[in-house]
Structure 1
Amino acid sequence: MIIVTAALKGGVGKTTTSVYLAALASSNRRTATLVDADPQGSAADWVDNSDDEHLARIEIAEAPTERLLTKALDKVPPEGIGVVDMPPSHERLLNKALERARIVLIPTRIGGVETPRVKAVLDLVPKGTPVGLVICSARTYTRSYAEAMQQYAEEGIPVWGTIPERVSITAGPMGPLAEDGLEAYRKVWRKILAAARS
């Protein structure tokens, strides 16, 4: 199962989402492959530099080009799980990943230019591929959050999870994965598994 974490904008939580999902995918003695397609290599650095046991069974494949991405995805075994952390603003590479995606996850934030950027990614997702949003660094008590959720509901855009705004969740390699982050992403993981079965 290839899960692509896609967004055309940086700073929306793609790498955080990819790392937490790879950690959840690698639980129960499974091995997950985290394909870091971002030239910055932040996801790979996070896993490599962390001594968090949640990240111990994650295989890393750095794949910042179309050729390397194809090779990395080919190496994910049929019964395996690959989570692809895409770079922002690289539509050609994103399209390459989307061709192979079993599930697409779109991390986003609330407000500003986020909704049009989400729709731009949704337009790229092949028909029939399950896709859901993850609202990252969410301030769930705000009016803008409520309005955005209502708009997504009215437009039939599925929101698979809301990740609360917490410094501990986005701390990266500086600390272990946050328990409340794992809990929030566990809900997203259940939606992914349900979508993969349907």
Structure 2
Amino acid sequence: MIVVTAALKGGVGKTTTSVYLAALATTNRRAAILVDADPQASAAEWIEHAADERFERITVVEAPTDRLLTRALNKAEPDDVVIVDTPPAHERLTAKAVGRADVVVVPTRVGGIEMPRVEALMEIVPNGTPAGLVICSARTFTRSYRDALDVWSEAKVPVWGTAPERVAITAGPTGPLSFDGLEAYRKVWRRAQAAARAAA
């Protein structure tokens, strides 16, 4: 299964989402592959340097070009779980990854400029490929958060989960994954798996 984490805008929680999903994919001692297609290689650095036992079962492949991304995805076996962290503001490479996806997870935040970016991303997702949002760094007690949920519901864009605003969730290589982050992204992971199975 190829899960692509995609956003056309940086700073929305794409790398955090990719790392947590890769960690959750290792549940029950499974292995996972994280393909880091972002030239900044933030996901790769996080996996390589943070002390978390889940990361021991994740293989990191850096693939910041079309050729390397294609090669990495072509090497995936049918039983592999592959999480792809795409680069921000690189529509061509993102479109290539999304075109190979079994399911697309779209991180976003609450705010006025986010919806057009998400809509633009959804337009490059192939028909029949399931895609859903995860709202990152959310202040779930605010009216703006509730309004955002209503907007996405009206637009018929599924929201698969919410990652609350917590410093520990986005701590990166400085520490292990947070309990709050794992709980939040577990819902996203289950819904992504269910959507991929339903579409298969």
Query: Same-fold call, TM > 0.5?
Result: yes
Cα deviation for residue 30 of structure 1 reads 1.1
Counterpart of 1:36 in structure 2: which amino acid? D
1:11 matches 2:11: yes
Give CA-to-partner distance per residue, 1:69-99, whole Å, 9 cap, x none: 0011112211111000001010110111111
Cα deviation for residue 112 of structure 1 reads 2.7
Query: What is the CA–CA distance in structure 1 between the aligned matches of 2:60 and 2:108, rounded to whole Å?
Result: 24
The 5 A counterparts of 1:90-129 are 90-129=90-129
Query: What is the CA–CA distance in structure 1 between the aligned matches of 2:86 and 2:194, rounded to whole Å?
Result: 23
Q: Percent identity?
A: 66
Look up the match of 2:184: 184
Counterpart of 1:39 in structure 2: which amino acid? P
Query: What is the CA–CA distance in structure 1 between the aligned matches of 2:112 and 2:47, rounded to whole Å?
Result: 31
1:88 matches 2:109: no
Report SS of the residue matched to 2:27: coil
Look up the match of 1:137: 137
Report SS of the residue matched to 1:59: strand
Counterpart of 1:165 in structure 2: which amino acid? E
Query: What is the CA–CA distance in structure 2 between the aligned matches of 1:143 and 1:27, rounded to whole Å?
Result: 35
Give CA-to-partner distance per residue, 1:133-160, whole Å, 9 cap, x none: 0000000111111111001001101000
Look up the match of 2:29: 29
Counterpart of 2:31 in structure 1: which amino acid? T
Query: What is the CA–CA distance in structure 2 between the aligned matches of 1:120 and 1:16, rounded to whole Å?
Result: 21
Report SS of the residue matched to 1:56: helix
Look up the match of 2:57: 57
Look up the match of 2:171: 171
Cα deviation for residue 163 of structure 1 reads 0.5
Provide structure 2 residue ranges, at least 5 long, that are not aligned to the other structure.
Answer: none
Provide structure 1 residue ranges, at least 5 long, that are not aligned to the other structure.
Answer: none
The 5 A counterparts of 1:151-170 are 151-170=151-170
Question: Could you state the TM-score of these two structures normalised by the residue count of structure 1?
Answer: 0.99
Report SS of the residue matched to 1:176: coil
Cα deviation for residue 26 of structure 1 reads 1.4
Report SS of the residue matched to 1:192: helix
Look up the match of 1:66: 66
Query: What is the CA–CA distance in structure 2 between the aligned matches of 1:24 and 1:13, rounded to whole Å?
Result: 16
Question: Could you state the TM-score of these two structures normalised by the residue count of structure 2?
Answer: 0.98
User: How many equivalent residue pairs?
Assistant: 198
Query: What is the CA–CA distance in structure 1 between the aligned matches of 2:98 and 2:111, rounded to whole Å?
Result: 26
